[in-house]
Amino acid sequence: MNLTGELLIGQQAVKGSRDPIVAINPATGERLPTEFNGGTAEDVSRACELAGSAFDTYRESSLEARASFLETIADEIEAIGDALIERAVAESGLPQGRIQGERGRTCGQLRLFAKTVRAGEWLGVRVDPALPDRQPMPRVDLRQRHIALGPVAVFGASNFPLAFSVAGGDTASALAAGCPVVVKAHPAHPGTCELVGRAVQAAVKQCGLPEGVFSMLHDSSFEVGQALVADPRIKAGGFTGSRKGGLALLDIAQRRPEPIPFYAEMSSINPVFLMPAALKARGKALGEAFVGSLNMGAGQFCTNPGLVIAIESPDLDAFVDAAAQAVEASAAQTMLTPGIHDAYDHGVSALAANAKVREVARGQQGDGPNQCQSGLFVAAGEDVIADESLQAEIFGASSLIVACRDAAEVKRVAEALEGQLTATLQMDDGDLEAARTLLPILERKAGRIMANGWPTGVEVCHAMVHGGPFPATSDARSTSVGTAAILRFLRPVCYQDLPDALLPEAVRESNPLKLRRLLDGERES
């Protein structure tokens, strides 16, 4: 498939009129073929007009039609073949195996949402039948279902050019909910975006859906992104990226004449608590495994373990020594973009320059551009509590070990944490009571709490929460990974005494979708 660098507006492909975006291979610094000209506010308006027009039809498409559409997108992405892998590798600097795995995850995710759509649990149907003889007043017939919010703006992430981008989790869950999607393509992987965008476009056509169900625009500056969130036809947004970018778009979403939900997944340092018994039993092994998680994908994961908390002891020293050795042996890895590499270097330098912080180890220097040289640092618990700059996310392979005087200080550090995507306990049986003391704090701080694993690696399933209190996300009530992500793009509507012929299928008396409804507050079996 040849790239054209065009904007995809409904079924059209048109060249943008703003400055061209050119993708850079971060591993070599080379410019990759094709210029992707950015769109204008007018292009945004056209895409949103089409999305608005498509909404009522698309949201009432049958569950089967919508599920089949999601599966067709997955098929079309797979049909691109090696061209997609090659372009994504070139644009991201990520290894081929990783990108292949990510394609599997992306298509698997679309198919899981197809299954979720068919199951219909997300419709949230509640029925309270009329009670005409109730005293002192009869009860009317009331039926609730969830409907889609409206067209959704999606901002993909740089670090998952497939799974969190054009046809990633936000798009899949919004489409599953019945929302048309307008994507702002990520400028770090515009060719990957075009390939996937054209796959979605083809699926829309193949499934006979209104063209406005999907559009994708390049943005040379902030014009497209800002206009997109501000457009009155857009009713929600999904974003994965930096805190600064997320907050800027959140602000636009909240200041509109009609404010809208904006789900920004932003910043997390994913604290890992090394509990005493675990540390004693396996400090060295934990140190090595920790660095495996730290270095994964050059540390460019939202769930990278950026903070390790433990009580000072010889066991902690053993952990630190093992981790330091592993870090020193770490080969440099190519980062996603020059901008991310610069921010990483700046973050690590700032940490190293902090008088309260001791550098423990750095990884090997690389010899190409944009190389991530892993970093490991130590600070005292009281200093981390006192200096919030030590909690700033460094996107990349860098972590700060927090040495606490005692268990009480560990608790105080936990209480001082900002909101997180994850919190991890490395614990053995002997740590159960101490872990029980920490758990309520961690529940308040994080969306996912794990034992004896590492935060990197996010399963796409039903029970996953990839979310958490601010600033991990802008809305702790949600997850951006897993089937519960669909709930972000729905709202309840209640139908009172409507004639059955006028009722949507989901709430009709005969229950044609065979849903297990909440009937008078009881779940149907």
61 binds a copy of itself (CB under 8 A): no
Nearer to a copy of itself, 222 or 470 (CB): 470
Q: Find the binding residues for a copy of itself in span 233-252 (CB under 8 A).
A: 250
| Binding residue for a copy of itself, selected from 479, 486, 506, 508, defined by CB under 8 A | 479
Candidates 152-160, 193-201, 275-283, 468-476; binding stretch for a copy of itself (CB under 8 A): 468-476
The DSSP letter of residue 212 is G
Q: How many CA atoms lie within 13 A of 472 on its CB side?
A: 30
| Binding residue for a copy of itself, selected from 484, 486, 506, 513, defined by CB under 8 A | 484
Q: How many CA atoms lie within 13 A of 217 on its CB side?
A: 32
Residue 195's nearest CA partner among 87, 38, 36 is 87
Look up residue 8 and give its two tokens. 């995809």
Dihedral (Cα; 296, 161, 365, 375), 10-degree rounding? -50
Tokens 């927090």 sit on residue: 402
SS3 content of the chain, % helix, strand, coil (to 5): 45, 20, 35
Candidates 107, 302, 372, 404; catalytic one: 302
d(CA 212, CA 475): 27
Look up residue 344 and give its two tokens. 């990483």
Candidates 9-17, 207-215, 379-387, 428-436; binding stretch for a copy of itself (CB under 8 A): 428-436
Minimum Å gap between C-beta 110 and a copy of itself is 15
Residue 52's nearest CA partner among 174, 221, 179, 219 is 179
149-178 in b/e burial notation, b at 16+ Cβ within 10 A? Answer: bbbbbbbbbbbbbbbbbbbbbbbbbbbbbb
| Binding residue for a copy of itself, selected from 66, 87, 126, 282, defined by CB under 8 A | 126
Q: Are strands 518-519 and 126-128 parallel, antiparallel or unpaired?
A: parallel
| Binding residue for a copy of itself, selected from 1, 83, 140, 285, defined by CB under 8 A | 140
| Binding residue for a copy of itself, selected from 435, 486, 506, 513, defined by CB under 8 A | 435
Candidates 2-10, 336-344, 389-397, 430-438; binding stretch for a copy of itself (CB under 8 A): 430-438
Look up residue 253 and give its two tokens. 């979403």
Give 142's contacts (C-beta < 8 A, 6+ positions apart): 127, 128, 494, 495, 496
Minimum Å gap between C-beta 18 and a copy of itself is 31
3-state secondary structure of 214: strand
Binding mask 447-466 for a copy of itself (x = CB under 8 A): xxxxxxx-----x-xxxxx-
Minimum Å gap between C-beta 355 and a copy of itself is 26
132 binds a copy of itself (CB under 8 A): no
The DSSP letter of residue 391 is G
| Binding residue for a copy of itself, selected from 116, 201, 304, 373, defined by CB under 8 A | 116
| Binding residue for a copy of itself, selected from 375, 467, 508, 513, defined by CB under 8 A | 467
Minimum Å gap between C-beta 437 and a copy of itself is 11
Nearer to a copy of itself, 311 or 485 (CB): 485
The DSSP letter of residue 305 is -
Neighbours of 40 (CB within 10 A): 19
Nearer to a copy of itself, 309 or 446 (CB): 446
143 binds a copy of itself (CB under 8 A): yes
Distances (CA, A) of 393 to 106, 380, 417: 26, 18, 12
Largest CA distance in the chain: 82
| Binding residue for a copy of itself, selected from 65, 142, 248, 277, defined by CB under 8 A | 142
d(CA 148, CA 487): 9
Q: Identify the burial level of 233 via C-beta atoms within 10 angstroms of its C-beta, where 0-12 means exposed, 13-18 middle and 19 or more buried.
A: buried
Minimum Å gap between C-beta 235 and a copy of itself is 8
Nearer to a copy of itself, 357 or 427 (CB): 427
Candidates 29-37, 154-162, 210-218, 257-265; binding stretch for a copy of itself (CB under 8 A): 257-265
| Binding residue for a copy of itself, selected from 27, 44, 114, 127, defined by CB under 8 A | 127
Would residue 48 show up in a list of annotated catalytic residues for this protein? no
| Torsion sign, CA atoms 413, 415, 418, 424 | positive
Binding mask 487-506 for a copy of itself (x = CB under 8 A): ---xxxxxxxxxx-xx----
Q: Find the binding residues for a copy of itself in span 160-219 (CB under 8 A).
A: none
Neighbours of 226 (CB within 10 A): 17
Nearer to a copy of itself, 128 or 321 (CB): 128
22 binds a copy of itself (CB under 8 A): no
Would residue 302 show up in a list of annotated catalytic residues for this protein? yes
Minimum Å gap between C-beta 485 and a copy of itself is 11
525 binds a copy of itself (CB under 8 A): yes
Candidates 71, 76, 91, 265; catalytic one: 265
Residues annotated catalytic, as ranges: 265, 302
